[in-house]
Amino acid sequence: MTESTSPALPPAGKGEEPCSDHFNLDSYSYDLPEEMIAQVPLEPRDSSRLLVLERSTGTIRHVIFRQFVSFLNPGDAIILNDTRVIKARLTGRKVDGTSRLEIFLLKPLSKPEGELWEVLVRPGRKAPPGQTVLLAEGVAVRILGHGDEGTRICSFPEGLDVASFIERCGNVPLPPYIKNVAVDPERYQTVYARQNGSVAAPTAGLHFTPSLLSEIGAMGIETGRITLNVGLGTFSPVKTADIRQHMMHSEDCFIPEETGAIVRKVKSSGGRVIAVGTTVVRALESRTMENGEVAPGSFSTRAFFYPGYRFKTVDAMITNFHIPRSSLIMLVSAFAGLDLTMRAYRVAVNEKYRFYSFGDAMLIL
């Protein structure tokens, strides 16, 4: 497919000054026909479409994702999130009855064994504190109490290798808007996923193939990695009318020393740091210090970016098309400007792009 261009839109500055509309939840809504929600991933991965949005001019171009390399410059670096989605859905029944329950694992609370977990229980009314739930292989978990915002705390049997049990008996948690249950679970993992811990994929990375990454490396473009374990809260719609009142869920992150060094080298030489996904943006911007360097190490973040925030490290980003009223579309609007972002979304709808996790992508320069 050849490159095509949509009419230029009004440009957006970096970190535009917000007005009242920027804080209004309704400003982040858009109409999307249900048939445009992608139900299957494309093959090969890099054959998806890529909307290229230039902030300085407002120009929009339409290309194929594998053409991403043509927008790279010597001295740039791309940063990936190497988290891997765990098989977080476990099903069982009440030990003293026949009621079926789902235990949706969110994150371990005890280290390093992971006997205690924060979970969602569905239906929750059937699993009060003290209830025991019998899972596959006769494994019994006990509901201990309530966590934050509707979550529960449960305990696995002492001595159980929880990670191995999850891998054997759990299911990858595809988003609820994906109705196709026959999807290969590995297609909801990036090809560079390494670190178990997420309950949702960093979907901007789903478009990369090993050959595309090799091509990028052959160009001399450095690739860094972070790990941000994606939680359900990242994808949840914001519910407060004034978005500034929204509270993000905490997510665990790790930035290696070598990634901090790559960012430092790129910034000092005038190259661009290109974040693959909003999770990478959140991790890097959360750890940018006053001197402009990114602090490596392990940390947790509740970072929530919306218009008015001025980005310190990230110069460009790849992202999928997000759910209306989500913190993700607000982050994109902070980066590209609200008006430009929402107009780009309308262009994507008119051009019949595929939306959400298995959909197409956008490169914001």
- CA of 276: how far to CAs of 18, 30, 68, 207, in Å? 25, 24, 12, 10
Alpha-carbon distance 236 to 29, whole Å? 14
List, for residues 254-285, the tens digit of each pLDDT value.
999 999 999 999 999 999 999 999 999 999 99
Range 303-308 average pLDDT? 95
Range 115-141 average pLDDT? 91
Q: Are 103 and 133 in contact (CB under 8 A)?
A: yes
Identify the band that residue 10 occupies on the pLDDT scale cut at 50, 70 and 90. Answer: very low
Architecture of domain 4-85+184-364: 3-Layer(aba) Sandwich (3.40)
Q: Determine how many CB atoms are found less than 10 A away from the CB of residue 274.
A: 26
Q: Both ends of the chain: CA-CA distance in Å?
A: 21
List, for residues 209-246, the tens digit of each pLDDT value.
999 999 999 999 999 999 999 987 776 789 999 999 99
Mean pLDDT, rounded, of the chain: 92
- CA of 177: how far to CAs of 188, 235, 300, 323, 359, in Å? 14, 12, 28, 10, 12
Strands 89-94 and 100-108, by their bridges, are antiparallel
Identify the band that residue 101 occupies on the pLDDT scale cut at 50, 70 and 90. Answer: very high
Identify the band that residue 110 occupies on the pLDDT scale cut at 50, 70 and 90. Answer: confident
235 or 146, higher pLDDT: 146
Cα angle for residues 81, 85, 87 (degrees, 5° grid): 170
Question: Torsions phi, psi of 7, nearest 5?
Answer: -55, 145
Is the pLDDT confidence value at 7 over 50? no
Under CATH, what is the fold of the domain 89-169? Thrombin, subunit H (2.40.10)
Count each helix (H run) and each strand (E run) in the chain, helices first.
6, 18
Is the pLDDT confidence value at 112 over 80? no
Q: Determine how many CB atoms are found less than 10 A away from the CB of residue 80.
A: 27
Bridge partners, residue 132, by sequence: 142
Range 352-359 average pLDDT? 98
Comparing 188-197, 228-237, 303-312, 342-351, the range with the smallest average pLDDT is 228-237
Identify the band that residue 339 occupies on the pLDDT scale cut at 50, 70 and 90. Answer: very high
% of the chain exceeding 70 in pLDDT: 94
Residue 93 token pair: 């029944």
Question: Torsions phi, psi of 312, nearest 5?
Answer: -105, -30
DSSP states along 23-43: GBGGGG-----GGGB--S--S
Alpha-carbon distance 118 to 231, whole Å? 11
Cis peptide bond upstream of 175, omega within 30: no
Alpha-carbon distance 234 to 106, whole Å? 12
List, for residues 18-71, the tens digit of each pLDDT value.
777 899 999 999 999 999 999 999 999 999 999 999 999 999 999 999 999 999
Is the pLDDT confidence value at 161 over 50? yes
Position 146 scores a pLDDT of: 83
Residue 363 token pair: 């490169």
Alpha-carbon distance 50 to 96, whole Å? 52
Closest CA to 208 of 75, 329, 86, 78: 78
- Enter the pTM of the model: 0.92
Cα angle for residues 130, 133, 138 (degrees, 5° grid): 135
Strands 77-81 and 222-228, by their bridges, are parallel
Is the pLDDT confidence value at 8 over 60? no
Domain positions in the chain: 4-85+184-364, 89-169
% of the chain exceeding 90 in pLDDT: 81
